[in-house]
Amino acid sequence: MNEPVNIGIVGATGYAGGELLRLLSARSDVCVAAITSDRAAGKHVTDFYPALRGWLDLYFDSPSLDSLVECDLVFFATPHGVAMNMAPDLLEAGKRVVDLSADFRLRDADVWASWYGQAHKAPEWLPQAVYGLPELSRSGIDNARLVAAPGCFVTAVVLGLKPLLESGLIEQNGIIADAKTGASGAGRTSNPVFGFAEVAESMRAYGVAGHRHLPEIQQALDSLSASPVDLTFVPHLVPMVRGMQATLYARRIGSGDVRAALEAAYTNEAFIDVLPAGHQPTTAQVRATNNAMLGVSTLESGRVIVTTVIDNLLKGAAGQAVQCFNRMIGVSETTGLEAVASWP
């Protein structure tokens, strides 16, 4: 048996970092060697995650190169702006990196700066980062030194539209992505906007004039189309903890079978399920799994509607990062990720 892969997690007290710990701590082929957090340095992992009692005996360190030096691969589950400052030193030290933040997703440093309000600190690494949505393109993930894991909204939108753009079954213009997410999508924040009293019994749109995931969605969709895609994207916060639904509207072209195109594209994908005609997915059907479920309808008006549901913390974050990690260490993509959604 090969030696376990030593991994570190920067930002391990957040929701995505906690899910990484849950997914990886029980694996015999992985050793969680370091967990870091500014606010939790010196505290035991079970102070934040009592469910890990008996699974992981580790203390949080302050984020630094010294605390991560024994790791083979480091995950960043941090807000934007952290990985671009720390990852280059780790990469130069021979470590591999999977970044769950937005720091290396966009190829253009100027575009990144315009959306995130600061200059990019490691622009030389942007062209070297491999985009970590396996169903979009697995090319390069296996041997990548730096993987940029996609955002949750991007995953839901791109999975629903990819086969239809590639096969030329929908117009590139006038596509609408109407997305709903649970409050955990904002991370483990003290912002009162995401508190129970604000979220319960209410729903609101946000980022209507331009959400930070928009250029990432645009970049991914444009790579699938012969010409730039015209997209309207509006996210909404809904009163649930986790889960995401993207309802996608596009104009059909020609007489090709839209459902057949989706089924053919994903027939061998372990985590993608295209539902039979007449069925629509719900977020509960993918809760706490790395799965995505798709429903599709073609209206007499010529409009195509695709509904995609994912767990925003799994397929939209930690699960997808582990899916990429599995490829990077040469094991099955599904290792540690096969699960059935809990019910109710």
The SS3 call for residue 54 is: coil
Nearest to 34 by CA among 82, 76, 67, 73: 67
Q: Left if phi > 0, otherwise alpha if psi is -120 to 50, otherwise beta: which for 243?
A: left
| Nearest-angstrom CA–CA distance, 188 and 250 | 34
Residue 319 has phi, psi (to 5 degrees) of -60, -45
Nearest to 68 by CA among 100, 52, 91: 91
| Nearest-angstrom CA–CA distance, 336 and 100 | 18
Encode 72-95: b = buried (16+ Cβ within 10 Å), e = exposed: bbbbbbbebebbbebbbebbeeeb
Which member of 31, 71, 152, 324 is catalytic? 152
| Nearest-angstrom CA–CA distance, 337 and 23 | 7
| Nearest-angstrom CA–CA distance, 328 and 331 | 8
Task: Please say whether the beta carbons of 140 and 222 come within 8 A.
Answer: no
Task: Please say whether the beta carbons of 290 and 311 come within 8 A.
Answer: yes
Task: Please indicate whether residue 31 is annotated as part of the active site.
Answer: no
- Residues taking part in catalysis: 152
